[in-house]
Amino acid sequence: MVEREVVVRPMGRPGDLGWVVMAHGEFYDREFGWDTGFETLVSRIVADYAEEKDPGPQSAWVAEVDGARAGCIFCVRHDDRTAKLRLLLVDPHARGLGLGARLVEECLTFARDAGYEAITLWTNDVLGSARRIYQKHGFELVDEEPHHSFGHDLVGQTWQRSL
């Protein structure tokens, strides 16, 4: 079996931000049939990050496999004491390489080093693989609420952990 080159690097190369929006839009349409409302949400999150709309420490990372983008994660300010994990994505072709766990670990390390005391995230219950990664990293479910978004009836979940 050929060993693949896996790199996790800070976001910031030309095309990174656009790739995040495109990859989320295409993946969630293909896997879950979500409409462009989700891609719109992702583009707002990415734009807010790029424009540094929230004061306080923030960062983002891109995972590459054999030189091609294959995953991402963002860590932004939720409030003075709490960071927010956003936009975790691993391309299906790169699954099984531990990218999701590595990206979450980068986010947690950054949040802890930046002085945040806790970290939170919002996801949907249909995203089982991501939820398992969050649970393995100590996140606990603190709230659930049904909603209709992206063309579907979903159950939104808020997860949190101390740092």
Residue 19 lies in a domain: yes
**Structure confidence at residue 77 (pLDDT):** 96
**What pLDDT is stored for residue 55 in this prediction?**
79
Q: Is residue 161 one of the residues assigned to a domain?
A: no
CATH number at residue 33: 3.40.630.30
Identify whether 34 is part of a domain.
Answer: yes
Q: For residue 124, tell me if it sits in a domain.
A: no
pLDDT of the residue at 133: 95
pLDDT at 3: 79
pLDDT at res. 1: 62
CA atoms within 13 A on the CB side of 133: 22
Return the pLDDT at 86: 98
Query: Residue 122: inside a domain, yes or no?
Result: no
Residues of the chain where predicted confidence (pLDDT) is lower than 50: none
**Strand runs labelled E in 54-131:** 59-65, 68-77, 82-90, 118-124
Chain segment 4-34, per-residue pLDDT in tens = 899 999 999 999 999 999 999 999 999 999 9
Q: Is residue 40 part of a domain?
A: yes
Residue 43's pLDDT is what? 98
Residue 143, classified by CB atoms within 10 Å of its CB into exposed (0-12), middle (13-18) or buried (19+), is: exposed
Number of domains in the chain: 1
- Domain holding 16, by residue range, is 6-117
Q: What's residue 109's pLDDT?
A: 98
Residue 130 lies in a domain: no
Chain centroid to CA 89: how far?
A: 6
Does residue 13 form part of some domain? yes
Q: Are 97 and 4 in contact (CB under 8 A)?
A: yes
Predicted structure pTM score: 0.95
